């Protein structure tokens, strides 16, 4: 019998893959991404992170692609906490998804969703397939 990963490890793997997917999917055909909060341009794998609008500790939105966008390391770190980047991210989100969607995210951020082993394994397969597709597109394989 194969040794199965614990659910928290599967969730962590899915979250890491989704952050990678967001960065590589957002890259142009040359591999460059724009930070959504300062418009810095960097390679998808060099100083660009998957920044969360709603904290990744909030389980309802931690595996939602709409919650994660490319951010430079500076904005994603201290910028969100100390330099008003949360406000800039909110404006970006409202322009991208509309006020009602963003308000729903904020209103439901404390809710949790229980994901099954099957859900997580399916997400991991899907994220890996999409990552490969986008890496092929930008010549990153």
Domain boundaries, the chain: 12-119
What pTM was estimated for this model as a whole? 0.88
Residues (pLDDT < 70) of the chain are: 1-3, 57-59, 79, 81-82
Cβ count within 10 A of residue 114: 7
Using alpha carbons, select from 6, 10, 3, 2 the residue that is nearest to residue 119: 10
Reported as a single tens digit per residue, the pLDDT across 114-134 is 889 999 999 999 999 999 999
């Amino acid at each position: 019998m194969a040794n199965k990963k614990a659910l928290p490890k599967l969730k962590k793997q899915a979250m890491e893959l989704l952050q990678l997917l967001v960065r590589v999917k957002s890259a142009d055909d040359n591999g460059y991404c724009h930070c959504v909060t300062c418009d810095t341009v960097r390679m998808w794998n060099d100083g660009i992170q998957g920044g969360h609008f709603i904290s990744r500790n909030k389980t309802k939105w931690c595996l939602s692609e709409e919650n994660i966008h490319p951010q430079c390391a500076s904005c994603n770190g201290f910028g969100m906490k100390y330099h008003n980047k949360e406000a800039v991210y909110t404006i970006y989100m409202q322009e991208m998804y509309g006020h009602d969607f963003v308000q729903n995210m904020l209103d439901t951020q404390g809710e949790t969703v229980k994901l099954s082993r099957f859900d997580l394994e399916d997400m991991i397969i899907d994220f890996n397939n999409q990552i490969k597709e986008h890496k092929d597109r930008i010549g990153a394989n």
